Structure 1
Amino acid sequence: MNITIIHAAMTHDKENGYRGSVQFEVEGHKHPYEVSLQLNSIRGTTWDYSLHFAKDPGPEEDMNKVEAAIEQDDDLFDYLIDAAAQTLPDEEEEQA
């Protein structure tokens, strides 16, 4: 699945852990997506995420394809996390 990052951001604080979002386009899809990410350092090292359309709603079938790709392709999921983590100041990026 070919994706293009439109925008990425991440913040970190002790209370909420790491929180980020990545807006991206998928080749062949008409509507961009956004994935919201959270890593709560109290709960462990597993990233939680939520996928939704970034702007206008699109076909559920397209959303399901992207969701399946994120679930099955660790490299894709890591790419999205890395895109957000790159927006952190250097000292916090090392901890992500």
Structure 2
Amino acid sequence: MITVNIMDAAMTYSKESGYVGRVHFSVEGHTHDYEITLHSKRGTEWGYGLFFLNQSGKEEQLEEVEDELEENDELFDQLVQAAKDKLAPK
């Protein structure tokens, strides 16, 4: 289990693109911060990309976060909710 600190989040919605969001976060014990980009046409099933935020870090650490996101629905939902909380009202 990893400990995540959310630093920033954003989300937009358009009829054409659906929901597009991003969350910047740090992981306890990791040298570099991360960005997850999120996309969902209807706001239910989410696709994502995970990247280092400002500069590349250790591939093993990125893979550790990726594995945790795949296994830990609560963590993934926390990141999605952080972005959804920033969605401007329609």
TM-score above 0.5, yes or no: yes
CA deviation map 1:30-77 (0-9, x unaligned): 000000000013xx8310000000011000000000000000000000
Match of 2:41 in 1: 40
Paired with 1:86 and 1:45, the residues of 2 have a C-alpha distance of: 15
For 1:19-58, what aligned pairs fall within 5 Å after superposition?
A: 19-41=20-42, 45-58=44-57
Q: When the two structures are aligned, how many residues end up with a matched partner?
A: 89
Match of 2:74 in 1: 75
* Aligned structure 1 segments of 4 or more residues deviating by more than 4 angstroms: none
Identity %: 45
Residue 81 of structure 1 aligns to which amino acid in structure 2? V
Match of 1:16 in 2: 17
For normalisation by structure 2, the TM-score amounts to 0.94
* RMSD of Structure 2 on Structure 1 (CA): 1.2
Gaps of 5+ in 1: none
Paired with 1:57 and 1:7, the residues of 2 have a C-alpha distance of: 19
Paired with 1:83 and 1:53, the residues of 2 have a C-alpha distance of: 18
Gaps of 5+ in 2: none
For normalisation by structure 1, the TM-score amounts to 0.88
